Amino acid sequence: MLLYEFEGKKLFKSCGIEIPNSQLIEPPDEEIKIKAPLVLKAQVLSGKRADSGGIVVVDDESKLKVSVLALLGSSVNGEKVEKILVEEMVEIDKEYYLSFSYSTENRGPVMSFGEGGTGAEGKEIKIYPVDILEGYKGENVSDSLKETAKKLWEVFIKYDCELAEINPLVVTKDGKIMALDAKVILDDDANFRREEKFPERNLFGRPPTEAEIEARKIDEGDHRGTSGSVYWDLDGDIAVIAAGGGGSVVCMDALIAYGGKPANYTEHSGNPPREKLKKLTEIVLAKQGLKGCWFVGGTANFTDIYETLMGFVEGLREVKFKGPIVIRRSGPNDKKAFDELKIIGEKEGFDFHIFGRETPMTATAKTIVDLAYGKEEK
């Protein structure tokens, strides 16, 4: 879960990292107790807020109300601004970038440190592995920043973070060390042991839809493969039930490249039983206005293709979906599954278009687009 800036700073403060005096504003008529000069910061999950008008400096007290009203309800990088963090202005002497995250290359945590501020990604930032057993002791930063760096490490470990980032970490004109921004990503799998709770949200910065909530429930208490733990509603009209993480992303790219509009993103993996696929199918196909369904995945080694596809069929029967259905899958028991699908399609009127390992996954993206939108196949 990606936190808003004000939420991340709350964690920073709990571990002793100094932050500017601030106030969170939601209703536009709320009294602002911090005096100008100050900064209005839109609370959105996307980056580069300053480039999109999401950070406003107010020098004149008389312009404060107008500036708040203009920012609240506006859109920053496609996100509606519903909260503003009002912060005191600080006079900056130096800016740094500091973060802790996990590295797949090092197979453990790393500290990143360097020049901070706007455009930090283009500046020199060095990465240092951290021994997870030894912990971080203040290495590789200047003496003045050691205590803050150790406190950020405390945030990273205490709250089970995937990322704890300060950019910029500043030294003020009067010598204070302060975090002017906060980017924190929490590991969702550690929610059960985290005392600090945050409102549930998805990656798009909005509350989860009913379908997203229901999809996540499929795997609760049942570790026989995954089906629904990853599910997001989108604005399109082609339902997608994909298999495997990497392959799913590639397929979504292909669908969009061929002009398709995905209605959702979801994936299943491992060897989920048919009842899980049934539930996922019901959730995916309950959406109104669908023009087609794409059940797609690569060649599995351990997934029982017959079981998963029969679960898919059971879900189809429940929602009585009659649009074009393109299936591309292969693996254990795939021939048995395909033979059964042909019988079911003819008998029950499902418009199946079935492809096996001889057809690339991405090629079937064009097939579902052509069928769903009435285009003539070439």
Query: In this structure, how many other beta carbons lie within 10 angstroms of the beta carbon of residue 150?
Result: 18
Q: CA 8, CA 270: separation in Å to the nearest integer?
A: 34
What is the pTM assigned to this prediction?
0.67
**Backbone φ, ψ for residue 103 (5° rounding):** -115, 125
Output the six-digit token pair for 77.
């990088």
Domains of the chain, earliest start first: 21-88 (3.30.1490.20), 92-193 (3.30.470.20), 210-372 (3.40.50.261)
**Backbone φ, ψ for residue 367 (5° rounding):** -60, -50
The DSSP code sequence of 261-293 is: -BSEEEEEES---HHHHHHHHHHHHTSTT--EE
Q: CA 56, CA 357: separation in Å to the nearest integer?
A: 55
Question: Would you give per-residue pLDDT tens digits along the chain (378 residues)?
Answer: 889 999 999 999 999 999 999 999 998 888 899 998 999 999 998 888 888 899 999 998 889 999 999 999 898 888 889 999 999 999 999 999 999 999 988 899 999 999 887 766 778 899 999 999 999 999 999 999 999 999 999 999 999 999 999 999 999 999 999 999 999 999 988 888 888 777 766 555 567 889 998 998 999 888 899 998 889 999 999 999 999 878 899 999 999 999 999 999 999 999 999 999 999 999 999 999 999 999 999 999 889 999 999 999 999 999 999 899 999 999 999 999 999 999 999 999 999 999 999 999 999 999 999 999 986 443
Judge residue 13's burial from the number of C-beta atoms within 10 Å of its C-beta, 0-12 exposed, 13-18 middle, 19 or more buried. middle
